Amino acid sequence: MGKGLAEAFSLMHVDVPLLVEKEGLYSDVDRDRGSKVVSLSKLRRRLHGLLMETGGLVASSHVPDVLPSRDVDYVLVLRIDPRALLHRLLSRGWPEGKVKENVASEALGICLAQALDYYGEVKVYELDVTNKSLEDVLEEATKMIKGEVKKTTIDWLAKAEEDEDLASLLASC
C-alpha cells in the first residue's frame, strides 16, 4: 500500500519496520511479545533526515508518531475487519497471544486513536481495506487525499452490536 502510494505521488517509500530492523533503530527486544522496542528518538532522526533529503516520503508503519506532526500532511490508518485480521495473522503462523492482541487493538481502534491524538483529526484518514484489492485501496486513498471523497469512520465495536459473529470473536480476545 505505502509503496503504491509513494509511486502514485512520486515520493520515496520507507517501510518503517524494515528500516528499524536494518539500521538497528530499536532499544530493546520484547521477548514476551516477540517484537523489537523501537527507539523513537533514533527513528525520528533518521526519518527526518530522509524527509529533508527527498522533500517528501510515504512511511508505512503501525507506530503512529514516527514523524513530528509539522512534517506530516496526511496519515492513512488502514483498518480491517477483525475477523479478516484474525485469519490473516493465523495463516502467517503468528502466536495466538499476539494474534489476539492485534485483533483486540484493531477492534478498539488503538492505532487510529494514537494517530488522532498525535496528528489531529484534520490529517488522519481511515480506510477499510477488508477484502479490497491493492488497486482499490490506492484509488480510494488517492481520492481521499485529493478531497474527492469524504472521510470515513470505522467502528468495529458498533458493528459488533449488530453482528453476533464479530461480537463473539471480540469477546474471546
Model pLDDT for residues 37-95, shown as the tens digit of each residue: 889 999 999 999 999 999 999 999 988 888 889 899 999 999 999 999 999 999 999 98
140 part of a folded domain: yes
* CA 124/CA 23 separation, integer angstroms: 28
> What confidence category does residue 33 fall into, taking pLDDT thresholds of 50, 70 and 90?
confident
* CA 21/CA 36 separation, integer angstroms: 8
pTM of the model: 0.85
**Are residue 1 and residue 43 in the same domain, yes or no?**
yes
Instruction: Residue 153: give its domain's CATH number.
Output: 3.40.50.300
Range of the domain at 16: 1-63
β-strands 35-38, 26-30 pairing = antiparallel
**Are residue 95 and residue 53 in the same domain, yes or no?**
no
DSSP state at residue 122: T
68 part of a folded domain: no
Domain edge (last residue) among 63, 86, 108: 63
* CA 45/CA 17 separation, integer angstroms: 15
Query: Which helix H or strand E contains 125, and what residues bound it?
Result: strand 124-128
The answer to whether residues 51 and 39 touch, using CB atoms and an 8 Å cutoff, is no
> What confidence category does residue 167 fall into, taking pLDDT thresholds of 50, 70 and 90?
confident
Question: Collapsing DSSP states into helix, strand and coil, what is residue 36?
Answer: strand
Domain count, the chain: 2
pLDDT at 62 (0 to 100): 85
**Are residue 55 and residue 122 in the same domain, yes or no?**
no
**Are residue 78 and residue 125 in the same domain, yes or no?**
yes
CA dihedral 109, 86, 34, 74 (to 10 degrees): -40
